[in-house]
Structure 1
Amino acid sequence: MLSGFMNFLWACFRPCSGRHVHNGSDSGGRQDGLLWYKDTGHHYNGDFSMAVVQANNLLEDQTQLESGSLSLQESGPYGTFVGVYDGHGGPETSRFINTYLFQHLKRFTSENQSMSVEVIKKAFQSTEEGFLSVVSKQWTMKPQIAAVGSCCLVGVVCGGTLYIANLGDSRAVLGRHVKATGEVIAIQLSDEHNACIESVRQELHSAHPDDSQIVVLKHNVWRVKGLIQISRSIGDVYLKKAEFNRAPLYAKFRLREPFKRPILSSDPSISVHQLQPRDQFIIFASDGLWEHLSNQEAVDIVQNHPRTGSAKRLVKVALRKAAKKREIRYSDLKKIDRGVRRHFHDDITVVVLFLNSNLISRASSIRAPNVSVKGAGVNLPSNTLAPGPT
């Protein structure tokens, strides 16, 4: 039966070959089918590796690494910014975040003259408000944009301090060397906002005590209002502003009863960590990776292989596991085109940020050239809205 299903897929969908590829600014990345990767690069605090594999018809994951000045002022501070944006319902929100979030962060860092939790919160808030403005302007012509949203995972390394901010279920994991045993252990740095987590469901019930249906078990998956798994995001305006939860938005998204307070939140969970010499690297990845790899498995893969190509290696291990789950070969999985590929795995984005303790310990006022890298997928029009549900 599975063999017949695969034959049907290949008969209907041709593999992706010979397509043009769009790379981000100064990316220097390479393409292998639906896999884009940059094996190695340098940032203010060490080296990095980046990879993105596309599964959806339109790539909904976006990612960026910005290194150098974290401010609009020449005096700095200097450091490294990593963003992983896992979109849903379409690519509009993740693309918007990829364009504007870091610019907002630089503006507020300039105003504050330093990096801080408050600066990051303001950058998230301004990005949310900016996308709401886009939805308001496009609503009458493109109402479906109200149901487009994105998870948002950010890491900022500045002056020996690591800030982790998160909305949704992407994840940041630290690899830390343990001197006594010589092993490198995995430490999860980000809080996740997914209704499958009991504490998240309790948080939702506490915020909506009058709504017994705030979380619904649907097809063995916990969903907020039976629609979406995550409880925090950028976008998803239809679950934050009641005026957008009506026709002409698709009926399958609309709630039967009006709501008085936002159902989803755009308030990020932010943690602050003082980096130590034994902190080796940080893995930033969308949930497409963590669906197939545990935190420790991912850390072991990075630790036990050369740094070059670390992100690509993680993606390929995840893809091999995805293929094995469907009882097909990895070589056959690679032949399946975007769109159909989503039946086998999600878009997967990975950034591995290696930390050089000598560079970490230097002052954040020391100037360095700016580096800007953005992951890429198959080149498609930037204003194309995915037709399907979240």
Structure 2
Amino acid sequence: MFSWLARIVSACLRPVRRYARMSKGDNLDDVSTVGDALVWGKDLEQHSQVETGSDAVFVGVYDGHGGAEASRFINDHLFLNLMRVAQENGSISEDIIRNAVSATEDGFLTLVRRSYGIKPLIAAMGSCCLVGVIWKGTLYIANLGDSRAVIGSVGRSNKIIAEQLTKEHNASKEEVRRELKSLHPEDSQIVVMKQGTWRIKGIIQVSRSIGDAYLKRPEFSFDPSFPRFHLPEPIRRPVLTAEPSICSRVLRPNDKFIIFASDGLWEHLTNQEAVEIVHTNPRTGIARRLLRAALNEAARKREMRYKDLQKIGKGIRRFFHDDITVVVVYIDHDLRCKNVTVPELSIKGFIDTVGPSNFRNLRGLE
């Protein structure tokens, strides 16, 4: 058993137990964020998931677009699909995680098919999906979209070093545009510059996601009555994919923590800035500290004070910064030799409770 995960669990659960039922406007005892409606709010809870077990941790960051149905579906099904596939195969691996993502995509497209007649806009709902699994000392990362996982490690000079673990599937990246053009040589409009941003078919920036059925299945193409999602002509084959980029690595003694965050954080903080904030500050409230740093930078870019940004209404604030979801997992190697019981708990967005995790069903797997 990897009892070093106990510290990870306790670091996560102390604030979670206290704030799991909190909503916007409740008090925080972190002096840097007391009364700060931008930093803590119920809307920020909906896009993440943490599952802890005796020798495993699961983290999910789900950044939805077009509506909440896709990210909610992932929250409800991805981890359960992972547990099912892992049990069937007796282990966890890159292929197991890939199969769990595929099953989640298939499940959501089935939901779209069933609901399309009464709720057609469900075909335009999708979600980026970043997943991290620590299983018996190995870290697995799967990503669709432009969320990012960054690991902080101590280098030879005892300085913290940032290493990005994920590839971002966003048309703003030249390599993504090249990939799309090579996959669709017959389509001169596969990527289009619109409103100063490269977009796939002039509509969406991310090239991989769960959902977005109208860009994957011709039968879900919209007619002109849906101008925001209408394509000049129906697609002949998918222009988006649900194939994740996956990597794995054995955790090393100098690995200290992992930051999982949606693109809203990385729009304002570099990898190195983020790991330095985590490395040089107390653990309690560290995700909120990262969020505050990003919002401060967003205000600075607009030549505003942070207090002025706080006064902007939620609907308008979207023009100043994107939604931001952050989860930080600390890695404590010095606890491996201690006999510590790790609770198997599930902390999920969209609900306000902490409950038992299905990680208990993985006992005995290789």
TM value normalised by structure 1: 0.78
Q: Name the aligned partner's letter for residue 372 of structure 1.
A: S
Q: Which residue of 1 aligns with 2:297?
A: 321
Alignment of 1:197-236 (within 5 A): 197-236=173-212
CA–CA distance in structure 1, aligned partners of residues 326 and 316 of structure 2:
22
Q: Which SS does the other structure have where 1:82 is aligned?
A: strand
The structure-2 alpha-carbon separation of the partners of 1:90 and 1:103, relative to structure 1 and needing over 3 Å to count, comes to same
Which structure shows the higher helix fraction? 2
Q: Does the 8 Å contact 2:45/2:350 carry over to 1?
A: no
CA–CA distance in structure 2, aligned partners of residues 355 and 301 of structure 1:
16
Q: Name the aligned partner's letter for residue 116 of structure 1.
A: S
CA–CA distance in structure 1, aligned partners of residues 190 and 276 of structure 2:
39
Q: Name the aligned partner's letter for residue 203 of structure 2.
A: L
Q: Among residues 110, 114, 120, which one is paired with 1:143 in the alignment?
A: 120
Q: Does the 8 Å contact 2:39/2:292 carry over to 1?
A: no
CA–CA distance in structure 1, aligned partners of residues 174 and 273 of structure 2:
24
Deviations 1:233-290 (CA, angstroms, capped at 9, x unpaired): 0000000001000338613312122222111000000001111010000000000000
Q: Which residue of 2 aligns with 1:372?
A: 346
Alignment of 1:195-344 (within 5 A): 195-247=171-223, 250-344=226-320
Q: Which residue of 2 aligns with 1:29?
A: 19
Q: Does the 8 Å contact 1:34/1:53 carry over to 2?
A: no
Q: Measure how far apart 1:59 and its partner are.
A: 6.4
Q: Does the 8 Å contact 1:85/1:94 carry over to 2?
A: yes
Alignment of 1:123-202 (within 5 A): 123-178=100-155, 180-202=156-178
Q: Name the aligned partner's letter for residue 243 of structure 1.
A: E
Q: Measure how far apart 1:138 and its partner are.
A: 1.2
Q: Which residue of 2 aligns with 1:16?
A: none
Q: Among residues 337, 343, 349, which one is paired with 2:325 in the alignment?
A: 349
Structure 1 residue runs of 5 or longer lacking an equivalent are: 1-25, 40-50, 70-77, 379-390
CA–CA distance in structure 2, aligned partners of residues 360 and 244 of structure 1:
51
CA–CA distance in structure 2, aligned partners of residues 375 and 198 of structure 1:
33
CA–CA distance in structure 2, aligned partners of residues 135 and 204 of structure 1:
25
Q: Does the 8 Å contact 1:159/1:362 carry over to 2?
A: no
CA–CA distance in structure 1, aligned partners of residues 124 and 43 of structure 2:
16
Q: Which SS does the other structure have where 2:294 is aligned?
A: helix
Q: Which residue of 2 aligns with 1:47?
A: none
Q: Measure how far apart 1:326 and its partner are.
A: 2.1
**Number of aligned residue pairs:** 330
Q: Which SS does the other structure have where 1:305 is aligned?
A: coil
Q: Among residues 59, 67, 85, which one is paired with 2:52 in the alignment?
A: 67
Deviates more, 1:331-340 or 1:99-108: 331-340
The structure-2 alpha-carbon separation of the partners of 1:138 and 1:376, relative to structure 1 and needing over 3 Å to count, comes to closer
The structure-2 alpha-carbon separation of the partners of 1:216 and 1:118, relative to structure 1 and needing over 3 Å to count, comes to same
Q: Does the 8 Å contact 1:155/1:164 carry over to 2?
A: yes
CA–CA distance in structure 1, aligned partners of residues 207 and 260 of structure 2:
20
CA–CA distance in structure 1, aligned partners of residues 280 and 111 of structure 2:
45
The structure-2 alpha-carbon separation of the partners of 1:95 and 1:249, relative to structure 1 and needing over 3 Å to count, comes to farther
Q: Measure how far apart 1:323 and its partner are.
A: 1.6
Q: Measure how far apart 1:33 and its partner are.
A: 3.7
Q: Which residue of 2 aligns with 1:95?
A: 72
Q: Which SS does the other structure have where 1:339 is aligned?
A: helix
Structure 2 residue runs of 5 or longer lacking an equivalent are: 1-15, 31-36, 353-366
Q: Measure how far apart 1:294 and its partner are.
A: 0.3
Q: Name the aligned partner's letter for residue 48 of structure 2.
A: T
Q: Which SS does the other structure have where 1:186 is aligned?
A: strand
- Percent identity reads 55
Q: Which SS does the other structure have where 1:331 is aligned?
A: helix
CA–CA distance in structure 2, aligned partners of residues 310 and 161 of structure 1:
24
CA–CA distance in structure 1, aligned partners of residues 27 and 119 of structure 2:
30
Q: Which residue of 1 aligns with 2:86?
A: 109
Q: Name the aligned partner's letter for residue 49 of structure 2.
A: Q
Q: Does the 8 Å contact 2:44/2:325 carry over to 1?
A: no
The structure-2 alpha-carbon separation of the partners of 1:101 and 1:360, relative to structure 1 and needing over 3 Å to count, comes to farther
Q: Name the aligned partner's letter for residue 110 of structure 2.
A: S
Q: Which SS does the other structure have where 1:146 is aligned?
A: helix
Q: Indicate the structure whose relative CO is greater, using CA pairs within 8 Å and at least 6 residues apart.
A: 1
